[in-house]
Amino acid sequence: MLPVLTLLLSADLIVRVAAATVPTYNVKPTCRAAIELSAITGRTVEMCEASEAQVRNEIVKTWSTFTEAAKDRCLNTSARHAPSYVELLICLESMRDMQKRQQQEKSDGARPRPR
């Protein structure tokens, strides 16, 4: 039981440390699979990799604006399947938007409503 607990705690620590910096993904397998599954002609693995690199640069620029909770959740989610910076950014933006909406609803609920 102790080795399993140690493994779980180690995995949690790795995700938390990883949340401090933008992860580095090998997107080539993800891009290769996406191109093979897509019905779009003319799109190449290299084009996909270039798109992923652009999105990673955007994430690097905005990384500090996302909460640690959002980073942890999105990194845990992306760790379960083929990594993609596009999916990571969508997750981070969705988490940010949800948190803003929740804060807005709280502040709207705290104000007296006009009669």
Whether 15 and 71 have beta carbons less than 8 Å apart is answered as: no
pLDDT band at residue 4 using 50, 70 and 90 as cut-offs: very low
How sure is the predictor about 111, in pLDDT bands with cuts at 50, 70 and 90? low
The whole-number average pLDDT for the span 83-102 is 95
**pLDDT value of position 108:** 80
Evaluate if residue 113 carries a pLDDT over 50.
yes
What is the tens place of the pLDDT at every residue in 26-43?
999 999 999 999 877 889
Quickly state the pLDDT bin for 9 (edges 50, 70, 90).
very low
Mean pLDDT of 56-80: 93
Listing DSSP states for 53-91 in one string gives HHHHHHHHHHGGGS-HHHHHHHHHHHTTSS--HHHHHHH
pLDDT reading at 13 higher than 50? no
pLDDT band at 22 (very low <50, low <70, confident <90, very high): very high
